[in-house]
A and B are shown apart, each in its own frame.
Chain A
Amino acid sequence: MEFAFTSEQKMIAETARVFFTENATRERTRQAMACDGVDYALWASFCQELGFSAIGIPENLGGAGLGLVEMAIIAEAAGAQVAAFPMFGSLVLCAQAIAAGGGAGQREDLLPRLMSGETIAAYGHAATLVDDGNGLSGEAAFVAHGASARIFVVTGNNGAWIVKADAPGVSIAQLTTMDQTRPYARVVLSGVVGEPLAQPGKAIAAAQRAGFVAIAAEALGGAQACLDRTVAYARERIQFGRSIGSFQAYKHRLADMMIEIEQARSAVYWAACATDEGAVDAELAAHAAKSFAADTYFMCAGNMIQLHGGIGFTWEHDAHLFFKRARALQSMLGNGDWHREQVAAMIFGEMA
């Protein structure tokens, strides 16, 4: 049984932890929140100094190889600091879509730019997207980091395209977003010339696979951080002449957080491993991980506010960053009910 990190994976985890703790600081994150939710210095060192942006892209496409387990390790560490940078849209969704479903030219042209961080891509879905011969028209409502992107991967019900942000007919409106570390934009296309991805089905499947797991991993990191920070507070804060962590109602909430987090950890790495190994239950695992970990994160972030009392309700304290990111992750790429319904359909043998 080897369902534990290898020494290489432990090293990646430690490097990532140190990197985000040192760089994705509360001051820098708050500066990014006041603009477009991107800490550009963080993004540049992530892509260029650490080279983590190449993880999960096959070596023959210029990437670092490795797989979703390693990508999850990075997302977990980023989530623990609620890092404000576009890894999720640009690397997890777009780069995976292009690597899996792009033509040779698209891969050669785009992947190096995405991995170097020079170009930020964002991923949008527009159910109504049509190409009526006069270009693409439709609206992608909630495109994460959409206002920071130079290119988009847009998917519709029957295709996936690459669209340049400055192409004629593209209009982008940054939306004031509850989670300012990952603001949404509305992207409206009217008669835009897009470049179809060679294999849209493969592209979308790859983006979803990686997306579900990365969200789950980010949620895991965030949930653990909520617990760690609350535990630290429980030790120092005194009321009624005792540390608040000595009250059983308080302790038990912390324990409940840990119980859920440990399951979320199993979920994330089961799903990542199952996908990397091509296991038969990989899809079920990804739905399980996305729904379970996002719910865990929200539960922990809510508890974090409650267990900090008034200070936890302030803008100044970081608790709301976790709380808002957790809420965003619950909705992103399908809410928990939707993912569980997919699982139910598999259980009852109703899948196509």
Chain B
Amino acid sequence: MKLGFSTGDELFRQECADWLNGQMSGEFKDIKGITKLTASPERRKEWEQRLGEARWGCIGWPIEWGGRGATLGQQVIFAEEYARAGVPGRVNHIGVELAGPTILAFGTPEQKQRFLPSIAKGMTIFCQGFSEPNAGSDLAGVRTAARLEGGEWVVNGQKIWTSLAHIADWIFVLSRSEKGSSGPNGLTFLMMELRQPGIEVRGIKQINGDSEFNETFFTDARCPADSLIGAAGDGWRIAMGLLAFERGVSTLGQQMGFRNELDEIIRAAKENGAARSPLIRQRIAKAEIGLRLMRYGALRMLSNADHSKIDGAALTYKIQWASWRRGLGELAMDVLGQAGEVTDTNDYEWAALPNLFLFSRADTIYGGTNQIQRNLIAERGLGMPREPRGDA
């Protein structure tokens, strides 16, 4: 059991840091430090392409698809250095972390050829069309209908909470292709071009005033017959495979972002004297400890080479970080006091810490709510009985 990385890995770390810092002090200086996912979308697409040109876009992918075949350790290091250098989040994180790996695992050779190099180059931005007004936690309730007609899929229905649909080029859609089917049966996983007459995207304003997610309406929207991943009716298996990619290496990069947030709270507490309060000190210490434990939990999960047995660290990771970050937002406001409740902009726009307070309420909802996480932990991790289903 060891904590650190190898010397070779540390050299690689230097290489990553040099390149990223070079970009952030050079041509992409203007986007350094942006924390909102919706700010400067055009420049951030250019940034995706710059990453792609330099082969830093999807380093864990095989070389033939535009990656570097990087080891898990190298991927962690890149993610850490990425966040440390103040590089803004990836607007194509859904393409890179979800769509790509799903195509890699389940796609045909033609689909790989068509999508992977272009995702790796930052040319194809994806969004995720899973949730619907009546299918949230219970994803198998999706109703958006797809039917084959004249060599094309024709899709009708509505998705909701589609993050970055206003920026993306493509959407993967979990659709119901078997009329009269219900639950996980009869679903098909489709890849659709987003900019087409049959698809309309309407922004939804969020509690922080921003609008990162959207409603996405499908009215006779179309895609070619071979746009499906896996077989028709096999959509649930593909969707579940995709969700398993959701927790991965990127979490360690995400933690560096959390580090920056906690450091800012610590700075604010020193500045305004909150650091003298024993209660605030306890909470800051707890936050620090929680963040460290998240890091070592993630390292444990990634070091666990044989995934033969259920990995407790992996199973509990989502609720752990989400709850931690929501608590961090509350701590930020307790440190700032009323100064955190006003903004000096005319628009309803928030500095990093108040925005953290507002945005982190979503962390415990998307990607499986805290309640759903607890169900999963109890059922998969501890073998407790599954939740009964109603027939409503």
Specify the main secondary structure of chain A where it touches its partner: helix
Judge whether B133 is part of the interface by a CB distance below 8 angstroms. no
Using a CB–CB cutoff of 8 Å, the interface residues on chain A facing chain B are 1-6, 9, 69, 227, 231, 234-235, 242-243, 245-246, 248, 251-252, 254-256, 258-259, 261-263, 265-267, 269-270, 273-274, 277, 279, 281, 284-285, 288, 291-292, 337, 340-341, 343-344, 347-348
Q: Kindly state the separation between the CA atoms of A256 and B371 in the bound complex, as whole angstroms.
A: 11
Extra contacts, 15 of them, besides A258-B315, A259-B320 (Cβ < 8 A), are: A1-B73, A3-B1, A4-B305, A243-B385, A248-B387, A256-B374, A259-B316, A267-B289, A267-B293, A273-B1, A288-B292, A292-B293, A340-B281, A344-B284, A348-B266
If the complex has contacts A246-B385, A277-B4, A340-B285, are A263 and B300 also in contact, measured as CB distance less than 8 A?
Answer: no
A4 pairs with B289, CB closer than 8 A: no
Residues in B with CB closer than 8 Å to A235 are 383
B289 pairs with A292, CB closer than 8 A: yes
B299 pairs with A3, CB closer than 8 A: yes
If the complex has contacts A245-B385, A277-B3, are A255 and B281 also in contact, measured as CB distance less than 8 A?
Answer: no
Specify the main secondary structure of chain B where it touches its partner: helix
B384 pairs with A266, CB closer than 8 A: no
A255 pairs with B285, CB closer than 8 A: no
Q: Kindly state the separation between the CA atoms of A262 and B305 in the bound complex, as whole angstroms.
A: 18
Sample of 5 A–B contacts (CB below 8 Å): A252-B371, A258-B315, A259-B319, A273-B2, A344-B282
Judge whether B286 is part of the interface by a CB distance below 8 angstroms. yes
If the complex has contacts A1-B72, A252-B378, A269-B1, are A341 and B293 also in contact, measured as CB distance less than 8 A?
Answer: no
Residues in A with CB closer than 8 Å to B175 are none
**Interface residue count for B (Cβ, 8 Å)?**
51
Residues in A with CB closer than 8 Å to B275 are 348
Judge whether B232 is part of the interface by a CB distance below 8 angstroms. no
Q: Kindly state the separation between the CA atoms of A273 and B374 in the bound complex, as whole angstroms.
A: 30
Judge whether B302 is part of the interface by a CB distance below 8 angstroms. yes
A252 pairs with B374, CB closer than 8 A: yes
Q: Kindly state the separation between the CA atoms of A267 and B5 in the bound complex, as whole angstroms.
A: 18
A1 pairs with B5, CB closer than 8 A: yes
A9 (CB) vs chain B CBs: closest residue: B1
Partner of B285, one of A227, A258, A341: A341
B316 pairs with A270, CB closer than 8 A: no
B382 pairs with A255, CB closer than 8 A: yes
Judge whether B201 is part of the interface by a CB distance below 8 angstroms. no
B286 pairs with A340, CB closer than 8 A: yes
If the complex has contacts A255-B377, A262-B316, are A337 and B282 also in contact, measured as CB distance less than 8 A?
Answer: yes
B4 (CB) vs chain A CBs: closest residue: A277
B312 (CB) vs chain A CBs: closest residue: A262
CB distance from B332 to the nearest CB of A (A): 15
Which residues of B in the span 138-177 have a Cβ within 8 Å of any Cβ on A? none
CB distance from B55 to the nearest CB of A (A): 22
Q: Kindly state the separation between the CA atoms of A251 and B296 in the bound complex, as whole angstroms.
A: 26
0/1 string, B291-326, CB within 8 A of A gives 1: 011101101101111000000110110011000000
Residues in A with CB closer than 8 Å to B73 are 1
